[in-house]
Amino acid sequence: MKKTAQLTLLESTLKTAGYSIRYEKGNFLGGECRIKEEKVVIVNKFLPLDGKICTLAQAISKISPADLSTDIVKIIESFERASRKQTDAQTAQASGES
């Protein structure tokens, strides 16, 4: 599945779960929050496409809506695996420097 299709699918999943998505500029990555009574996912609009997908996937993972499609589950799992690999690499590098 193309990255743009993944982004669209993640956005529609969040909207179905009752969240609005805001692409804003600033010095942040983004995530799920509440503004007054509104459920919002804020995404840094200057992130590359993978960063936007990752932010939305993390938000969906955090809120765990019911009945996720297999495509959504695959996207979330792939970003979780990539995140674990990066963390493991950083831990190994830090251990080697000690």
Which pLDDT score, from 0 to 100, does residue 80 have?
84
The bridge status of strand 20-24 relative to strand 38-44 is parallel
Q: What are phi and psi of 20, to 5 degrees?
A: -100, 155
**What is the chain's mean pLDDT, rounded?**
89
Which pLDDT score, from 0 to 100, does residue 5 have?
95
Q: What separation in angstroms does the CA of 66 have from each of 28, 36, 61, 63, 84?
A: 28, 24, 11, 9, 24
Which pLDDT score, from 0 to 100, does residue 44 have?
95
Look up the domain containing 61 and give its range: 3-97
How many helices (H) and strands (E) would you count in the chain? 3, 3
Structurally, the chain folds into a number of domains equal to 1
**Span of 5-19, 31-45, 64-78, 81-95 with lowest mean pLDDT:** 81-95
Q: pLDDT tens-digit profile of 36-56?
A: 999 999 999 999 999 999 999
Cα–Cα distance measured from residue 42 to residue 78, given in angstroms and rounded to the nearest whole number: 21
Which pLDDT score, from 0 to 100, does residue 29 have?
81
